[in-house]
Amino acid sequence: MATTDQPTLRALLRRRDLGLALVPRETDLPEGALDRPLRWVHSSDLADPTPFLSEDLALLTTGTQFDEAVAIDTYVGRLADRGVLGLGFGTDVHRSGIPDELISACEVHGMPLFSVPYRTPFIAVARAHSEAIAAQAYARRSWALDTQRALALAALRPSGLEATIAELGRRLDVWSGMFDAAGALLVSHPRDRLDAELLDALGERVMEILTRGLEAGQSLTLGDHTFMLFTVGRGGHLRGVIALAIDALDPEARAVVTSVIAMAGLAMEQSEQLARSRRRLHAQLLGSLLSDEPALARRVLGSLPPAPVVVAVAADAPAGPLTDWWERHRADHGTPVFLAESEDGVTMCLSAGDEALLDQVAMRFGIRIGVSEPEAYDSFARAHAQALTALRQQGTHGAARYADTVGSSILTALATDEARLVAESRLAPVREHDARTGSDLERSLRTWLEHDAKAESAAIALGVHRHTLRSRISQAGAMLDIDLSTFPARAELWTILQTARD
């Protein structure tokens, strides 16, 4: 990112016009001692100047304070503790050369010591460093302006969001990525900079941030990598996260990132508006398909998934992330799919050969999906009804097939919420009596019917006398107002018992 030397002690020592010279060898200093950012250059001959100093500066002195029996080791120790980055000694001003004791003390405390020749006034050293700070600030402002222009041009490209994130990574010379609201990585630059395991871990942390609704930026360390994460959007409408493999940003770089966040938010808002329009269009096309007329959908969309197709309906599904998942899968694998929202949920239509993908979707989003049998488009309405029937029978997340649902029992297919409510109402007198008296009429009825209305075998299964069972059946029939001596009445009672919740 830098276009000029950082204002450091090393940069100051390189100024030939100043004639500064490092006294100890650099190899005798702590690693990086000359490369820490130098905030300022100050001069003082006080015996203890530390109350008037800030950290990260270089101190210049002529050494007059050492005439007052100042303990040099203590003096240097105080400077090191205060955070002074270097000590410059003006030679041939008050004494010739640098005291050996000062050289030794600086070596002990790891303090860079340099000589300032008589011909170089201290004010010249301070001015040179001030000019370096100004030059660096100008260079950073110029970099920021140039980067802003480059990002604006990138945003105008056909894939504006991807180009902008990639340009940001190039300008900062770091890995950059953009995650959507579902925690999926949309953009990565460079693509192969981070391995898949690290990206998965980063995606999980991104999802935590989005789930908690956090805003602004935060730092994150994963193994040997440090990232800065910035949310896009506000409050309950977070649209994604921008991630940078960097541990800190200066004000200019942060301003650039802020502008990218704004661009990304605008781009995703526009994309969301287009998505809303597309969802409305697809909802209308779904109405056409439910009329078993695919011609309109083909004319509008250009094509539909090849028949035979399966129709699936997902309940409580996040429509936006679900659509994004299918879009990415279609881009990567060429899988055609039609999606539309309605009061029943999200309807998905895809070729029968791609049906296995529905299990992945159900697992990925933790949702329930009902799946029809393969059908032609002129039977789309029937396939949609099959998907809804399978969906109603799916109690937990996963994909339920209509063929499996109807294969178990016709009563299972008819066990709607309305049917259960009617069945439970019809059984209410028996259940209330059992609860009040501790009797076992409902279980007796079930066991009796399971044994084909044969009292002797049912009584043995219940562990009661057959006359006791006959009495219970008669009592229950009276409560339910059903003549259980007839087959239609027994069939109705069996349906009620099978449909009602236990």
Q: What's the confidence (pLDDT) of residue 384?
A: 92
Give the pairing of strands 40-43 and 57-61.
Answer: parallel
Indicate whether 2 pLDDT > 70. no
Distance CA 252, CA 246 (A): 15
Quote the longest CA-to-CA distance of the chain.
127
Q: What's the confidence (pLDDT) of residue 102?
A: 94
Topology of the domain comprising 290-408: Alpha-Beta Plaits (3.30.70)
CATH number, domain 157-270, options 3.30.450.40, 3.40.50.360, 3.40.50.150, 3.40.980.10: 3.30.450.40
Indicate the residue type of 96.
Answer: S
DSSP for 215-265?
A: -SEEEEEETTEEEEEEEEEETTEEEEEEEES-S---HHHHHHHHHHHHHHH
Q: Tens digits of per-residue pLDDT, 287-334?
A: 889 988 888 988 898 889 999 999 999 988 777 778 878 887 887 888
Q: What's the confidence (pLDDT) of residue 9?
A: 93
Q: What's the confidence (pLDDT) of residue 154?
A: 83
CATH classification (class only), 417-499: mainly alpha
Domain segments of the chain as ranges: 9-132, 157-270, 290-408, 417-499
- pTM score above 0.75: no
Strand, coil or helix: 476? helix
Average pLDDT over residues 354-367: 89
Q: Element (H or E) spanning 127, and its range?
A: helix 122-155
Indicate whether 3 pLDDT > 50. no
User: By mean pLDDT, which of 198-207, 315-324, 423-432 is the weakest?
Assistant: 315-324
Token couple for 119: 């011909």
Distance CA 443, CA 402 (A): 31
Q: Tens digits of per-residue pLDDT, 468-481?
A: 989 999 998 899 88
Average pLDDT of the residues of the chain? 85
Q: What's the confidence (pLDDT) of residue 305?
A: 92
Order of all β-strands in the sheet with 398-401: 337-342, 345-351, 309-315, 368-371, 398-401
| Residue 1 pLDDT level (bands cut at 50, 70, 90) | very low
Topology of the domain comprising 9-132: 3.40.1390
